[in-house]
Amino acid sequence: MDISIHFPRGFLWGTATAAHQVEGGNTNNNWFAWEEAGHTQDRSGLACDWWNGRWKEDMDRAAEGAQNAHRFSVEWSRIEPEPGRWDETALEKYRAMARGMTERGLKPIVTLHHFTDPLWLYEQDGWENENAAPLFENFTRKVVEALKEYVSLWITINEPNVYALSGYVTGDFPTGKSGHRGMAFALRVLANMLRGHAAAYRAIHQIQPEAQVGYALHYRPMLAARPWFPPDVWMRHLQYQGINLAFPSALSAGVMKSPLGSLRLPEVKGLQDFVGLNYYAVDSVRFDLAARSSLFGKRYYPANADLSETGFIANTPQGLFDSVEWAVKTFPNTPIYITENGVEDSRDSLRPRYLAGHLAQLWRAVNFNYPVRGYLHWSLVDNFEWERGWSQRFGLWGLDTATQARLRRRSVDFYAEICRENGLTETMLKTYCPEALQTIFPGL
């Protein structure tokens, strides 16, 4: 007998991408300007050449791999290249993408904002400016009217916590033209993004009442390095709250919580139809007087961690179960989608056991009757990883950036078998990651 675990009927299996990371030729947004100023390891360039049509062959690959969903984003600066001027040709390209996914049996899930802002919004200080929220609502209305024939699952904003903290605290991401830095500015940005999310949520439901609308949170579980040492416990709490809780606390209780205090935003309470979780790893936190920029809390992976090739991600599957459990407790009776999960691995040696271990924990969550509806792997094909450029390879498919050739990794076939089976089997693990067999199916 082939021992197996299975997910509920109708479960969504897919991958996720973002416009600037795969389209190529995005020259009218803040990230292009950031690249031009030398703040990234590489340039995005052609990326995966989707804007010239190569999305079609990548969607063919996804469909051939038995996937039934794909999350992608639309580029605001293409659709509204100048304030109030709409590019109908760009909108038609996105309609073609959504239509093409539907024709291939892939449910399109659209992200409206995935880290990039038009240059004209950057000139107005981006999301520091309260006008960003109504401008984002206008953009949302235009996109939803154009794509509603094919799309009913919408993600308003991807990882607002990463956008704000990486821009205004660590300095790895671009900010507004003013160049402001500091936690106070990050919190202003998060508050305006919450207002933008709320405005977009209401606009989408006005245009498309049957739509399901949420956002994607980068959720980072954390452990005190020395649970018996109070400073480590305090630092863990401070880091955890500062990174994870601003958006969830506002949407669950109408109060945006932060290490600098709370801000009442009652108008955003309850405005999400599902929880989107982006989960990658668990951090250990210890008190460190040298870590001034991170409020004296150092986040790291333990010495024995199963690390990705650049040390960027640790293979900690239990954290995915814990993340789902947190979402269930914070937002009871709300559907959950894993909107990103994956690992950078150019050799494709860690990815199979990372994938298997995380899906086993996700199955465990499903068996607690937690309302998990789908899993979207990051990513379909290697793409431009923001400030880290091409140094990290997250794709099931590899990419030769010089030739645009797609390189088939074994994980392509592993994930295809998972999608077809709607689960994991003993035979799959023996074939693709035998080292994970005893962990997932003890006693074999």
Res 290 pLDDT > 90: no
At 269, phi and psi to the nearest 5? -60, 130
Q: Is the pLDDT of residue 12 over 80?
A: yes
Answer yes or no: is pLDDT of 444 > 90. Answer: no
Query: pLDDT class for 289, splitting at 50, 70, 90?
Result: confident
230 pLDDT exceeds 80? yes
CA 153 → CA 198, 246, 263, distances in Å? 16, 23, 29
> Per-residue pLDDT tens for 244-265?
999 999 999 999 999 889 999 9
Residue 303 vs residues 103, 284, 306, 307, 355: alpha-carbon distances, Å? 47, 11, 9, 9, 22
The 3-state DSSP composition of the chain as helix, strand, coil percent (nearest 5) reads 45, 20, 40
Give the chain's mean pLDDT.
97
Residue 70 scores a pLDDT above 80 = yes
Q: How many CB atoms lie within 10 A of CB 205?
A: 17
* pTM for the whole structure: 0.98
For residue 355, the enclosing domain spans 4-440
What's 123's domain CATH number?
Answer: 3.20.20.80
Total structural domains in the chain? 1
Which residues, 6 or more positions from 369, have their beta carbon under 8 angstroms from its beta carbon?
none
Length in residues, the chain: 444
**R_g (Cα) of the chain, nearest Å:** 21
Give me the percent of the chain exceeding a pLDDT of 90: 97
What is the token pair recorded at 49? 């050449």
Which residue shows structure tokens 């600098």? 260
pLDDT the model gives residue 235: 95
Residue 338, pLDDT score: 99
Looking at the chain, the whole-number percentage of residues with pLDDT higher than 70 is 100
45-58: burial string, b at 16+ Cβ within 10 Å, e else: ebbbbbbeebbeeb
Q: Where are the alpha helices (H) located in 245-385, listed in sequence order?
A: 246-253, 318-330, 351-366
Mean pLDDT of 419-430: 98
Are the CB atoms for 23 and 347 separated by under 8 Å?
no
Per-residue pLDDT reduced to its tens digit, 19-44: 999 999 999 999 999 999 999 999 99
Segment holding 99, helix H or strand E = helix 88-103
- Dihedrals φ, ψ of 119, to 5°? -60, -35
Answer yes or no: is pLDDT of 443 > 80: no
Position 295 pLDDT exceeds 80: no
> What does the pLDDT read at residue 218?
98
Quote the tokens at residue 91: 């909108």
Return the higher-pLDDT residue of 311 and 442.
311
Q: Give the 3-state secondary structure of residue 392.
A: coil
Q: How far apart are CA 102 and CA 152, in angstroms?
A: 12
Q: What is the pLDDT of residue 292?
A: 74
Q: Which residues contact 331 (CB under 8 A, 6 or more apart)?
A: 248, 251, 252, 272, 275
pLDDT at 1: 78
Q: Quote the CA–CA distance of 278 and 275 in Å, as a whole number.
A: 10
